[in-house]
Structure 1
Amino acid sequence: MDWTLEVIVLPVADIDRSIAFYRDQLGFALDHDVQTEQMRVVQLTPPGSGCSIVLGMSQMQPGSMKGLQLVVSDATAAREQLLSRGVEVSELSIFDSERDGGTFFFFDDPDENSWAVQQMKVRADKPLIPLDAR
């Protein structure tokens, strides 16, 4: 039996501000934005990902999620894309130049939840979720 991680609840202070950041600046797809009298459920998914984020007011403090990680096939191109969309990102950090997966950059969302972006060149030819399965 597979056990798949498909949703992470991300604590934020302002859901609308977070939608603007994740959808408009990072390019995540807005899958759901549903409001009832009791709650609002907002789910966004990074392109090509099998795991989504749900924005919400939770028992966790906004900004308390640290070290969430995204993987891209080209960190330089991904970094440039985010910079062009107004996201403050770190310089590239190369921890291991001999192996695929050793290049990173980092950014925070408006609530200071922190993200790492790892380059894995193999994802260009072998995406985690094949294109025909999306």
Structure 2
Amino acid sequence: MNWTLEVVVVPVADIDRAKAFYADKLGFAVDHDTVINDDIRIVQLTPPGSGCSIVIGKGAVPDMAPGSLKGLQLVVPDIEAARAELLERGLEVGEVQVVGANPRPVPHPLDNVGFLFFDDPDGNGWAVQQISRR
């Protein structure tokens, strides 16, 4: 039996600000923005090529403090190209960092160990890792 992770709830203070950040700065697709009533709104966004989405909203999502989620990780085949795209979209992102050492030979020196780090407007922490081949 397969067990797939499909959705991660990301706690935010301002739904519209977060939706704009994830859609415009990160290029996530807006799958839906559903308003049930004044107390319930659910926005689902999916990174390009991902089988897992994030959900931001109020009312029907777990009550977590905005900015309390740390360690979310995206994987890209080319960390330098990803950094350039994020900078082009206006995201403040640092230099590529090498974290650790490769446990085996890889086709590119940044595979497995090349990372970028950034926070969303609420302080939820994200990493981007280069893995060009599995």
After TM superposition, is the score higher than 0.5?
yes
Give the partner amino acid of 1:118. Q
1:8 is matched with which residue?
8
Once the two structures are superposed, what CA deviation does each residue of 1:46-83 show, in whole Å capped at 9, x if it has no partner?
00000000002442100000010000000000011101
Is the partner of 2:34 in helix, strand or coil?
A: strand
2:91 is matched with which residue?
87
1:51 is matched with which residue?
52
**2:123 alignment partner, one of 89, 98, 112:** 112
Is the partner of 1:30 in helix, strand or coil?
A: strand
2:113 is matched with which residue?
102
Distance 1:90 1:107 in 2: 8
Once the two structures are superposed, what CA deviation does each residue of 1:8-36 show, in whole Å capped at 9, x if it has no partner?
00000000001110001100000010101
Percent of residue pairs bearing the same amino acid type: 63
Q: Which runs of 5+ in 1 are unaligned?
A: 124-134
TM-score (norm 2): 0.87
Cα RMSD over matched residues? 1.4
Is the partner of 2:19 in helix, strand or coil?
A: helix
Q: Which runs of 5+ in 2 are unaligned?
A: none
Is the partner of 1:48 in helix, strand or coil?
A: coil
Q: Is 1:35 matched with 2:29?
A: no
Give the partner amino acid of 1:22. Y
TM-score (norm 1): 0.87
Runs ≥4 residues deviating over 6 A = none
Distance 1:56 1:65 in 2: 14
Corresponding residue pairs, total: 123
**1:61 alignment partner, one of 65, 69, 73:** 65
Distance 1:94 1:77 in 2: 16
Give the partner amino acid of 1:77. A
Is the partner of 2:23 in helix, strand or coil?
A: helix
